[in-house]
């Protein structure tokens, strides 16, 4: 949204444009027409509001100016006792307290009262900061005073409201500093701050609110109403596509990839083929309140958990059993599909005796489907392994070949105590032998993604500084990988670590795009041990050089020479002596673009570019699109530091109506600015309607693929019954995979990619412009031409094509369905006849030549 245009619109706002609003009271002051406003908070959950004095001398609430972005969603994002001051340069400063225990307060900066820079949360020496107030000094800087249980404090703020320094001594300022204005809004008395502003400014604020409201109304449009909306539409709509074959431009050949995040059990219990849950006995209440080291395990007698002599100091828990039976329930059970399995465990005897043990896969009715024996001897930890194979004859006789839900059973035959850890069961047949669930990996590979972003979005920066994802904790032998809680409230074994991610990229022919934290945790993190939430002040600056080196080590691990680098040797020792040829690194994930973030992000990006100038560094512009504060500040920061930031990661999840009404979203982007990676995006339904609008969006992205160079739908995977997010591209359980219509959109655009865009003009009847989309691209390597078309109308579309010969051999690939459908049908009704292409209602198609 263009703020200058809004300002100009505000200047021309007439009385009629106030609509249902009461007219403001105005007075002449120094040749300006001014109005009186009151800035306040109606409640701690309501954020900062603006009220204005109307012609009847009543205060009227106009709406929210901003909300608090501190700490966890819901319970923590509160604003208490905001105080606002109008600076001498015309800008605005706001301060408020965030709760009654945090050692910080909130600050915000705005040039116009409606667009606020991302918030900062200066840390102070006292907890429970209350009622901060701010005053501007003669030199343009600011003095902030606050209260706490231990007394008054003073904080000095720089002119730009980015640097804050607490005075070492308590403040002796008089209580008069906390006197505020009051006003009655809606029959309730509030504290706040009253200002006189030009009527032009108030008109601008109203026009801004109105523009947002108008956008919201348009974006509520859905195809559910198409029957009524298009009741007069003819059965066949005629349109034309004029192709200018002589006018082309280079576009990205890596436009469509995938984003893998360990969310909704996508890794453990999902793509990672391990069938034993909690194999490391490291589940704990930090993962989930009710979890402990024996979660997912059952036992017949007194199995106990110990930590005295662990297999690894980073995986300290193990179990000790006697003549007991130990059961693992797997991930919603273990689905026996009639296959061979690889069992392994680490064990040691607690005395100088040997112990015979039986390992079995037992069906839910008690039938033993596979069984094997092994002998444990010696007091030192040792790895034991055996192959288990289902008795297919028994399976066919008893169950007719149906999949059975099983448990892994381990039986100790003697009373002698044995310690067990890292108990594992894999299908013998994994994707290319690299430990991934074969059917899921094949489903992903069928997309032919050009890159893979991993290991997460929110999981990368973690919940709190202590939960930031460290790549070097995820490589090496299983027992030496550092497990951790997952921000999505379960456990990470780290079995699917950086080595496995890179190997998977290589196996499917995709570029790896690892994403690492920008020195700050997720802004939605809860409080640390000091009560500091959100970004928690970021990794301390004195620790940042070591963190930067950790990221440089990752690049060396991926690309280095094993003969010269210990990190590269670790890669080679794991089985990959050749480099992975890493080209891209992402720094940050939809962070709020705070001062704390900017300082650390820039430090990391500079370190990468100084040592590895050819690495493409991808930054972030926050969790939302324009006009969010993080998007605006993120783009400013990226452009200002384009020497170190090559592209930025945009994220948005929106309604189908938003996509219908924003097909030109990237048309005005600056081609000289950092490139765009649309790293997370989706329409918010699991239906054909979303697949249609996503296809239209991709048609327009192809047109702008010299600016938008990468895209990835999100999230990729979701295990049924374990949803952290909806919708997702692929749903699965232990035996089945369900593809959403959005999967088919992604596949069509990825498989039929190219490297040059061909200019074309689409003409459709008036009023239908946002229901039909077209894109023409070519692939210089194969010489193929691709025409992608979307008909999001309830009528047949007949498209007359000129400037491109489509009368020869063509291949048609596509799908169709009604908007509410959760599955698609082949686009069998698409026809190419002469120079015309006919598409049935609600169809996505690619015509290849």
The residues near 43 (Cβ < 8 Å, ≥ 6 apart) are none
Contact 134, 95 (CB under 8 A): yes
Q: Are 716 and 259 in contact (CB under 8 A)?
A: yes
- CA distance readout (Å), 565 to 360, 462, 502, 562: 43, 29, 18, 5
590 is catalytic: yes
DSSP state of 10: H
Nearest alpha-carbon partner for 417 in 344, 327, 318, 329: 318
Q: Are 788 and 749 in contact (CB under 8 A)?
A: yes
Rounded-to-integer distance, Cα 299 and Cα 407, Å: 12
User: For residue 133, which of 195, 169, 178 has the smallest C-alpha distance?
Assistant: 178
Choose, from 511, 590, 633, 689, the residue flagged as catalytic.
590
In angstroms, the CA 52 to CA 201 distance is: 12
Query: Cis bond leading into 455, ω under 30°?
Result: yes
CA distances, 370 to each of 256, 331, 433, 437 (Å): 43, 19, 22, 20
Peptide bond preceding 546: is omega within 30 degrees of 0, i.e. cis?
no
Per-position DSSP letters for 262-282, written without gaps between them: --TTSTBTTTB---STTTTS-
CA angle 496, 406, 275 (to 5 degrees): 5
Interatomic CA distance for residues 306 and 319, integer angstroms:
6
Q: Around 824, how many Cα atoms within 13 Å sit in the side-chain half-sphere?
A: 28
Cis peptide before 504 (omega within 30 of 0): no
CA dist., res. 97 & res. 352, Å (int): 63
User: Residues 357, 418: contact at Cβ < 8 Å?
Assistant: yes
- Provide the annotated active-site residues: 590
């Amino acid at each position: 949204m263009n703020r200058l245009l809004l300002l100009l619109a505000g200047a021309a706002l007439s009385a009629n444009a106030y609509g249902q609003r009461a007219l403001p009271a105005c007075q002449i002051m120094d040749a300006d027409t001014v109005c009186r406003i009151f800035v306040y908070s109606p409640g701690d959950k309501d954020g900062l509001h603006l009220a204005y004095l109307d012609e009847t001398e009543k205060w009227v609430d106009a709406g929210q100016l901003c909300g608090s972005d501190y700490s966890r969603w819901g319970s923590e994002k509160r604003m208490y006792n905001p105080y606002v001051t109008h600076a001498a340069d015309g800008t605005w400063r706001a301060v408020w307290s965030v709760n009654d225990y945090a050692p910080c307060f909130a600050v915000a900066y705005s040039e116009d009262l409606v667009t606020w820079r991302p918030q900062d949360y200066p840390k102070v020496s006292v907890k429970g900061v209350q009622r901060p107030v701010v005053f501007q000094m003669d030199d343009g800087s600011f003095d902030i005073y606050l209260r706490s249980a231990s007394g008054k404090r003073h904080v000095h703020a720089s002119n730009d409201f980015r640097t804050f320094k607490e005075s070492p001594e308590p403040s002796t300022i008089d209580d008069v500093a906390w006197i505020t204005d009051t006003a009655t809004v809606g029959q309730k008395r509030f504290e706040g701050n009253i200002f006189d502003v030009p009527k032009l400014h108030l008109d601008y604020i109203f026009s801004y609110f109105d523009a947002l409201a108008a956008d919201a109304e348009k974006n509520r449009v859905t195809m559910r109403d198409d029957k009524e909306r298009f009741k007069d539409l003819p059965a066949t709509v005629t349109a034309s596509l004029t192709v200018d074959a002589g006018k082309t431009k280079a576009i990205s050949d890596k436009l469509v990839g995938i984003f893998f995040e360990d969310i909704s059990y996508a890794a453990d219990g999902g793509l990672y083929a391990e069938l034993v849950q909690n194999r490391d006995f490291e589940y704990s209440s930090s993962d989930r309140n009710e979890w402990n080291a024996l979660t997912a395990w059952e036992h017949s007698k007194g199995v106990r958990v110990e930590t005295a002599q662990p297999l690894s100091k980073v995986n300290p828990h193990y179990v000790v059993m006697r003549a007991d039976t130990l059961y693992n329930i797997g991930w919603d059970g273990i689905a026996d599909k009639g296959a061979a399995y690889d069992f392994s465990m680490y064990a040691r005897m607690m005395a100088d005796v040997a112990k015979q043990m039986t390992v079995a896969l037992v069906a839910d009715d008690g039938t033993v489907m596979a069984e094997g024996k092994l002998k444990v001897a010696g007091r030192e930890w040792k790895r034991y392994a055996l192959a288990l194979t289902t008795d297919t004859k028994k399976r066919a006789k008893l169950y007719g070949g149906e999949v059975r839900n099983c448990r892994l059973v381990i039986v100790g035959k003697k009373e002698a105590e044995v310690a067990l850890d890292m108990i594992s069961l894999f299908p013998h047949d994994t994707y290319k032998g690299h430990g991934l669930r074969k059917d899921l990996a094949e489903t992903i590979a069928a997309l032919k993604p050009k890159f893979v972003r991993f290991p997460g979005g929110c999981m990368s920066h973690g919940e709190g500084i202590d939960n930031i994802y460290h790549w070097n904790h995820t490589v090496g032998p299983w027992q030496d990988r550092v497990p951790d809680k997952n921000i999505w409230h379960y456990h990470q074994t780290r079995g699917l670590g950086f080595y496995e991610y890179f190997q998977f990229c290589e196996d499917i022919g995709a570029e790896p795009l690892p994403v690492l934290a920008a020195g700050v945790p997720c802004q939605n993190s809860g409080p640390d041990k000091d009560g500091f939430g959100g970004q928690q002040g970021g990794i301390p600056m004195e620790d940042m050089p070591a963190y930067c080196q950790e990221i440089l080590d990752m690049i060396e691990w991926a690309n280095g020479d094993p003969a010269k680098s210990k990190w590269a040797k670790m890669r080679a020792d794991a089985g990959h002596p050749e480099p992975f040829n890493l080209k891209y690194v992402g720094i940050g994930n939809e962070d709020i673009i705070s001062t704390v973030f900017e300082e650390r992000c820039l430090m990391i990006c500079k370190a990468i570019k100084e040592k590895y100038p050819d690495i493409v560094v991808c930054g972030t512009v926050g969790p939302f699109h324009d006009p969010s504060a993080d998007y605006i500040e993120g783009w400013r920061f990226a452009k200002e530091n384009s020497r170190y930031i090559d592209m930025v990661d945009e994220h948005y999840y929106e309604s189908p109506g938003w996509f219908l009404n924003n097909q030109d979203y990237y048309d005005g982007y600056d081609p000289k600015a950092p490139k765009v990676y649309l790293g997370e995006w989706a329409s918010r339904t699991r239906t054909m309607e979303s697949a249609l609008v996503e296809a239209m969006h991709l048609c327009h992205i192809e047109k702008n693929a010299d600016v938008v160079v990468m895209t990835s739908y999100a999230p990729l995977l979701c295990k049924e019954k374990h949803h952290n997010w909806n919708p997702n591209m692929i749903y699965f359980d232990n035996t089945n995979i369900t593809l959403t219509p959005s999967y088919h959109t992604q596949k069509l655009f990825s498989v039929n990619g190219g490297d040059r865009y061909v200019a074309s003009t689409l003409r459709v009847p008036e009023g239908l412009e946002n229901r039909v989309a077209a894109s023409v691209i070519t692939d210089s390597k194969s010489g193929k031409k691709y025409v992608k078309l979307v008909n999001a109308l309830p009528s047949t579309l007949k498209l007359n094509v000129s400037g491109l010969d489509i009368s020869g051999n063509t291949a048609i690939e596509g799908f169709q369905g009604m908007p509410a459908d959760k599955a698609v049908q082949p686009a069998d009704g698409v026809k190419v006849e002469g120079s015309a292409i006919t598409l049935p209602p609600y169809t996505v198609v690619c015509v290849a030549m």
